[in-house]
Structure 1
Amino acid sequence: MALFTTGEAVAVELPIARIPTRAAAFLLDLMIQLIFGTAVFFLCLWALFLWDADSAWISTMLVVVLTLTLIGYPVLSETLSRGRSLGKMALGLRVVRADGGPTDFRHAVTRGLAGIVDFWILGTGLIAVVVSLCSPNARRIGDALAGTVVVHDRSRLPFAALVLPPPWLQGWARQLDLTGLSDELAVAVRQYLTRFRTLTPVAQDQLGRALVVTVCARLHTPPLNGYPPVQILGAVLAERQRRSFPPPPKPDTKAFQRAA
């Protein structure tokens, strides 16, 4: 298991996929790539034969087919399925960002291009195995460059505990510069808020005041007087949470009126 901290300061534990499972998924993908590459090669070869093309066209076609097979397949499959190739689907694996979020085309392209170094330079995948063994999260070169990790996705993930801000502190929180609030400190604040009801009154006050002083120092703002720590910390974390989620798009009322 590895601990990931999301952009909303939610600490999530995910099971890391190790070399045996990833190797089995890779072999399944390799079989699919061989079938796909062979089919495309003979189809293109038949078309070039009908066109009476020379050897230069055949060499070009071979390079294109190899590129589509070795790079295009993993990039396309991981982009369309948000981090899962067919082999990973069969083994219950998924590629996620280093913060536990979903990957996109940029991550898939980086991993696909780096796969040339990981798997195909020596032709055995030895580089990927050695680098994964040296990494605590079993990351190969492609994962390190793309900022990704391969995890098991069949375990149920916990829901994020969202924070509701005190209405009387919303205006104050929206004026804060939250760039100084690190992920580690935000996780500590969230843990305090979620465990608040289980703490003794003394612990609630002492831990809360210490966190308020630390948070306000990082945000370069004086601590508020007259408000309990749980409200101040809740307002700060709720504002950070609000900025992490984009606002929903406004409905096009004119289009609706035209349709009506």
Structure 2
Amino acid sequence: MSGLVTGDAVVLGLQPARLPSRALALAIDLVVVWAAYLMVSIGLAVATASLDEAAVMAVSIASFLLVLVGAPIAVETLSHGRSLGKLACGLRVVRDDGGPIRFRHALVRGAMGVVEVLFSFGVIACIASLVSARGRRIGDVFAGTLVVRERVPAARGPMVPPPPPPWLVGRFSGLDLSGVPDTLWLAIRQYLTRMRQLDPAVSWSMAQRLAGDLAARTGTPAPDGVPPAAYLAAVVNERQARDARRAFAAATSGTASSSAPAAAFGPAPVAEAVMPVGRPVTGPDSTTAHHAPAPHPPQAEHPADLADVRPPASPSGFAPPA
């Protein structure tokens, strides 16, 4: 991380570009600019063949200034610090406070680049970048700019607020949170996820201000002796717990309502035909009566087998209590 700090003493997560990536971006820009300059020079040489030597010299100087100096300044101004080489390498020129550059920044960088890049073939710029702690060349120092990396690895996980202290969990279960707007919740979450990156004094003042706004909306101030940041974390944890309980209750009620029709219209029990015992069975063509044998109830091989019978398991995988 860089040492960039805004006016609110917020440490910015900007990574200064290293010398190899900057050198590659500069090489790409120089190839493009010199190719354009050679093409313009050839065209001007053909167009000014009939002019005298002084006119040809004036045209050559003008083309040098316009193509090699003016073109990079115009490109950085219009693209807000992204030339062709920087765009290919994922770099960008920004101000010291992290904001986009303007024309005056690009003008100072371009003017100093004539000396430290064009005339010295980049030697001065390389030495200055190696000496500087943030890899800035002389033009960046005078212009108040910095070359940073735009394409950085993504965070491994989402930014989540830190958990509250254990002794505050559940302490605000009776707090009325219906009057807290979503904008205030968003501001509190952003503060909690980035409070370790803030200056301690600024972090304390922001926590006090947010805690005061939250207390005004809920009607309950923070308890005595509870830091404002811990109070904010405990209230956010309480809101998340309530949201989780509501989501669980909605899911449970939806599951119960969807399973009720299945139970009502399930397969009907099949009636077994029971034949009376000991009564004669006669057919239309039979003259003798036959007695159906009396069915015998099934016998368990071991009495203990009946004791092991349990109710069927529920769909959730848990057996109901015996």
Q: After TM superposition, give the deviation of residue 117 of structure 1 in Å.
A: 2.3
Q: Could you tell me which residue of structure 2 aligns to residue 130 of structure 1?
A: 127
* CA–CA distance in structure 1, aligned partners of residues 81 and 208 of structure 2: 33
Deviations along 1:2-30, whole A, 9 cap, x unmatched? 03223455431111101100000001001
* CA–CA distance in structure 2, aligned partners of residues 118 and 185 of structure 1: 40
Q: Could you tell me which residue of structure 2 aligns to residue 121 of structure 1?
A: 119
Q: Could you tell me which residue of structure 2 aligns to residue 48 of structure 1?
A: 48
Could you say what secondary structure the match of 1:149 adopts? strand
Could you say what secondary structure the match of 1:6 adopts? coil
Deviations along 1:197-233, whole A, 9 cap, x unmatched? 9x9963616x99xxxxxxxxxxxxxxxxxxxxxxxxx
Answering whether residue 57 of structure 2 is matched by residue 59 of structure 1, we say yes
Q: Could you tell me which residue of structure 2 aligns to residue 102 of structure 1?
A: 100
Q: Could you tell me which residue of structure 1 aligns to residue 34 of structure 2?
A: 34
For the structure 1 residues 16 and 56, does the alpha-carbon distance in structure 2 shift closer, same or farther, using more than 3 Å as the test?
same
Q: Could you tell me which residue of structure 2 aligns to residue 204 of structure 1?
A: 227
Deviations along 1:151-174, whole A, 9 cap, x unmatched? 011237999xxx97xxxxxxxxxx
For the structure 1 residues 54 and 152, does the alpha-carbon distance in structure 2 shift closer, same or farther, using more than 3 Å as the test?
same
* CA–CA distance in structure 1, aligned partners of residues 69 and 131 of structure 2: 25
For the structure 1 residues 152 and 61, does the alpha-carbon distance in structure 2 shift closer, same or farther, using more than 3 Å as the test?
same
Q: In structure 2, which of residues 144, 147, 151 is the aligned counterpart of residue 150 of structure 1? A: 147
Q: After TM superposition, give the deviation of residue 96 of structure 1 in Å.
A: 0.3
* CA–CA distance in structure 2, aligned partners of residues 141 and 100 of structure 1: 18
Q: Higher helix proportion, which one?
A: 1
Compare CA radii of gyration and give the structure with the larger one.
Answer: 2
Q: Could you tell me which residue of structure 1 aligns to residue 17 of structure 2?
A: 17
Larger RCO of the pair (alpha carbons < 8 Å, separation 6+): 1
Could you say what secondary structure the match of 1:94 adopts? strand
Could you say what secondary structure the match of 1:118 adopts? helix
RMSD of aligned C-alpha atoms? Answer: 3.4
- Consecutive unaligned residues in structure 2, runs of 5 or more: 160-182, 185-197, 215-221, 231-322
| Letter aligned with residue 107 of structure 2 | V
Could you say what secondary structure the match of 2:3 adopts? strand
For the structure 1 residues 38 and 138, does the alpha-carbon distance in structure 2 shift closer, same or farther, using more than 3 Å as the test?
same
* 1:61-100 → structure 2 map (5 Å cutoff): 61-100=59-98
* CA–CA distance in structure 2, aligned partners of residues 65 and 107 of structure 1: 22
| Percent of residue pairs bearing the same amino acid type | 40
Deviations along 1:54-76, whole A, 9 cap, x unmatched? 11111111111211222112101
* CA–CA distance in structure 2, aligned partners of residues 54 and 143 of structure 1: 40
- Does the CA contact (< 8 Å) of 1:9 and 1:186 recur in 2? no
